Chains A and B, each alone.
Chain A
Amino acid sequence: METQAEPRAGGAPNRGDQSESNFGFLALMAGVVIAVVWIGMLSFKEGMKTEESKRNGEAWVAWLSEASSKRHEPGYALAACAGGTPAAVAEAVAVAAPEPAADVPTPPAAAPASAANTWGGCLADMWKQKPFADMVNPFTGKAPVLIEKCDPADYTLHGNISIDKSIANPIGSAVAATVSPLVASDAIDAKLQLTLAVCDKGGYPIKVSDFEF
């Protein structure tokens, strides 16, 4: 416990060297305030870079989520990102069904799965699109890179983006889903459950969102 302060000799001032010590104290206080403001500004700038990285990630999520609803439709503009069409799904259902009703119209042919239906192919075309072409990683000043995983030990990864895919395990498994990085060779013809994260100033991942692509 702090000792109870009692006035020195009835509270009499001991001026002596006080003016020098007051000056020293005031100088120290000014120094401390400057140091706190300076380091505070540094932290703020670094924080703003992380915020900007988050905005980049959010733009990715917005684009991919929007594409998710359209890319399975026939004639999707970005062919490399097109998935299996609903018609193909309907066809698969029709094949499995015993007898289709006579008055049901025949669905159009499904787009065939090709090498273009991989994440790598889609990504190559995506970079040319509007939000991605202008994106800047605030930590490097260059375009953000899609990486497999954030790593605090690797300072070159700050501000970059990682995407994980989540694949449901069979019912009864100890773990509901397997999460792994989305890699170039991954097929994207079916819908995918993805999680996008950006690497913060310490290299740790900040989850931006879970979404469907």
Chain B
Amino acid sequence: MEEKTYVSIDDLDVKSIVGTDIEADISKDLPLRKWLYSWLLDPNIEGNYQKFFDKWISILIVINLFALLFEQVPAVFEPYKHWFHYFDIFSVAVFTLEYMLRLYMAPEDPDFAAKRNARTSYVFSPFAIIDLLAIAPFYLQYLGIPLDLRALRFLRLLRILKLFRIIIPAYQAFVKANEGRTLRQKIHALVFPGTYGGRLQELFDSFIAVCVLLSVFAVVMESVHSVSYILNIQFVILDAVMVGVFTIEYVMRMYSCVEEPGFKSPVGGRFKQATTVSTFIDLLAILPFFLEGLLHHVIDLRFLRVFRLTRLLKLTRGNDATATLVKVLSREWPVISASAFIMILLVVMTASLGYLLEHDAQPDKYENIPTSIYWAVITLASIGYGDIYPVTPIGRAMTVVMAFAGIGIFAIPAAILASAFSDELVKERDALKADLHDIMKDGRISTEELEYIRGEAKRLHLSVEEVSALIRQIHQEVERRADTASMPIHKIAAQPALAVEHYKTLLSNIRQLGILMDPAEFERMRVANNRLTPDEVALWEKIRG
């Protein structure tokens, strides 16, 4: 069994726990190549620019892919072909710089450092070949080597393979973490956040988020006639690809949900999963495609397209703020429903009075009570479009009274929600504080406990200062509570931090004893009755100083 590692509270570095603004500990005295490698490419140094570097290279690769796709659309490419060309030059410049840097720093890379010629080994490594393929066509073109445009575009498409530099290490870590686990458990680890997913699960989530944003952006742009007229068929293809991705994700989720606690039954668990809000949203995101594709000859299902916008709600999966809001809403539901009842009562009353008082004067506007309800809501909610308004003196007087009442009544749900939301955050912080008490009572923190603190700090959006203050406060409280004088020695011994404090207290007591008592009398008593051994005397002398 793996042995637990612990950190003493005194040695705790909150910055490293919360994981923000960690400064990489890289010596300035390193040789330039090693120093550059440490800052830019070393994945094992926390706080360097390796993740930042990888992230921006990945973003550039994805933009390149889109640029290549849009180049196939003459209506988009022709007017902006210069910009496409400049972007290509910029991308090749960045990728070339990256290639040269990696080549230069290859002797520092542990994968190649041990080889006879590190740079040659790097050049023939798969990643380096991909990197070279990503830029070579550009230079070949300018060297006068004729290349077919389709071959050129295909070679440029290979830039997407550069993403493997990020995906492959994440995949390898995933395989290692899931060694010996079943396919279902592996799929579960990939689609549900947990301890086995690692970086690959994060990449999967990011991929789904990018797909969601892209498909919602496409749905929005489809409503712009000038755009949809040009890109109609591209939107059709994009929608099919996105639905493919979301459908596979849906099936994976439904298949592996039985690994979740509370969803173990093969049928019942999956039904339970299917009826959760987030999975229902997932279904809504893909259903219009299938229904429209299959039934468009029978009925007009174009209205279903609006449900594609529900894909945006997929981003709320795992979003803690949304979870807190749902919790608050369900907790405060009785109060909110009571205030909603009063609101409805007020609206119906106002509409009825408006109809009674204004119908004779404006029969076209206050035609009936349902029509007056529109006016009542617009007035009570302080919107006041002004298309319908009372003209009789008594109607106006009633409106003044009702408008005042409306301000209060309509504000109640908002106030309840705001206050409950704030209460919930305080409760969650108190819960974290209680957990920290438990974690810190033995004076040390295990790596698992550190992981928990990191997760909670992230979930509750706590800054380094807030976590530090919380830990300091709890540490002081624990120390105050720990009155070692009244504690049995075995309880003190069980807590190393307390044991140290107790030892210091004992030493201090001995020193106080040495100061307060008469040394000559002490010496006389010790020698006369032979009460202390020579070792004990030496120790006494040493401590007393």
Contacts and interface: CB of A to CB of B under 8 A. Distances in A.
Interface of A: 1-8, 11, 13-15, 18, 21-22, 25, 28-29, 32-33, 35-37, 39-40, 42-44, 46-48, 50-51, 54, 152-153, 155, 201-204, 206-207
Contacts of B188: 5
B184 A18 contact: yes
24 contacts: A1-B320, A2-B278, A2-B317, A3-B260, A5-B192, A5-B261, A14-B182, A18-B182, A18-B183, A21-B255, A25-B251, A32-B247, A35-B247, A37-B240, A43-B240, A43-B292, A44-B233, A46-B296, A47-B232, A48-B233, A152-B302, A202-B300, A204-B302, A206-B229
A202 B222 CA distance: 15
Contacts of B182: 13-15, 18, 22
B496 interface: no
B180 interface: yes
Nearest to A39: B293
A54 B229 contact: yes
B538 interface: no
Given A33-B244, A155-B297, 13 more contacts: A1-B320, A5-B189, A5-B192, A7-B196, A8-B185, A13-B182, A22-B182, A22-B183, A39-B240, A39-B289, A39-B293, A44-B236, A204-B302
Nearest to A155: B297
A29 B233 CA distance: 26
A18 B232 CA distance: 44
Nearest to B239: A43
A1 B318 contact: yes
Contacts of A46: 296
A202 B236 CA distance: 14
Contact of A7 (B193, B194, B320): B194
A202 B298 CA distance: 11
Contact of B290 (A15, A22, A35, A153): A35
A51 B233 contact: yes
Contacts of B326: 1
Contact of A202 (B194, B266, B296): B296
B524 interface: no
B232 A32 contact: no
Contact of B184 (A25, A28, A202): A25
B323 interface: yes
A35 B240 CA distance: 11
Contacts of B262: 3
B150 interface: no
B225 interface: yes
B244 A40 contact: yes
A3 B259 CA distance: 11
